[in-house]
Amino acid sequence: MERNFDTIILDLGGVLIDVDYGASAKAFLALGFPDFEELYSKARQGHVFDRFETGELDPCGFRDAIRDLVHKDLSDEDIDGCWNAMLGSIPKDRLELVSALRRSMPVLLLSNTNAIHVPAFEAIVKRENGIPDFKSLFDGAYYSCDLGMRKPHPEIFLHVLKEHGAAAERTLFIDDSPQHVAGARHAGLMAEHLDLAKEDILGLVERLGLLE
């Protein structure tokens, strides 16, 4: 790939951290919530989850919404445990990749996430990788729940670019969700879809020659 960009924006879930949506679906099913997969997946999600990812709902409001959907008085701990079950590890070689990319250009993180997942995956990185400050791995890290907007809407991409004085046409965005890639392109960025059925982020970077 011709190096006609000088900034990279990476997604988190699927790109850096392993995510298993089915694990949360199974956990919620065990607590009597059989329709979780219909409401939340990588491709689509219900309004409760959208509102949580943009910070319109705080954790208490999200848990109450889940209780309303399930029609059961689940504990906060049960809900958080099921919700966080989808979060896996960030392999060391992916963190090393971020470091290698940063040697030649700024690397930013942009994730649709929420106020329950953030401390959970930060704890995973601290426990498994010995890194106490996850955001310090990037030149800038942005979470939808903090910004009040989410991918694939173009305004979130434009906000991140403005924060760093980066030009859309010289920024490469990588995400495993096709709708987010389309949103980035609509905002004027270059964008690559990471098809996890075919390769991981290391394979995509090697195939595109991003470290050459």
Domain count, the chain: 2
Write out the residue range of the structural domain in which residue 55 sits: 21-84
In a domain, 1, yes or no: no
Domain boundary among 49, 84, 119: 84
What's the rounded mean pLDDT across residues 78-84? 96
DSSP string, 73-138: ---HHHHHHHHHTTB----HHHHHHHHHHHTTS-EEEEE---TTHHHHHHHHHHHHH--S-GGGGS
Q: Is the pTM of this model over 0.85?
A: yes
What is residue 46's predicted lDDT score, i.e. its pLDDT?
58
Cβ partners under 8 Å of residue 146, min gap 6: 55
What is residue 1's predicted lDDT score, i.e. its pLDDT?
57
Strands 140-143 and 171-175: unpaired
pLDDT(3) > 80? no
Q: Per-residue confidence at 68, pLDDT binned at 50, 70, 90?
A: confident
Same domain, 95 and 155: yes
pLDDT in tens, 169-198: 999 999 999 999 999 999 999 999 999 999
Q: Per-residue confidence at 41, pLDDT binned at 50, 70, 90?
A: low
Same domain, 13 and 26: no
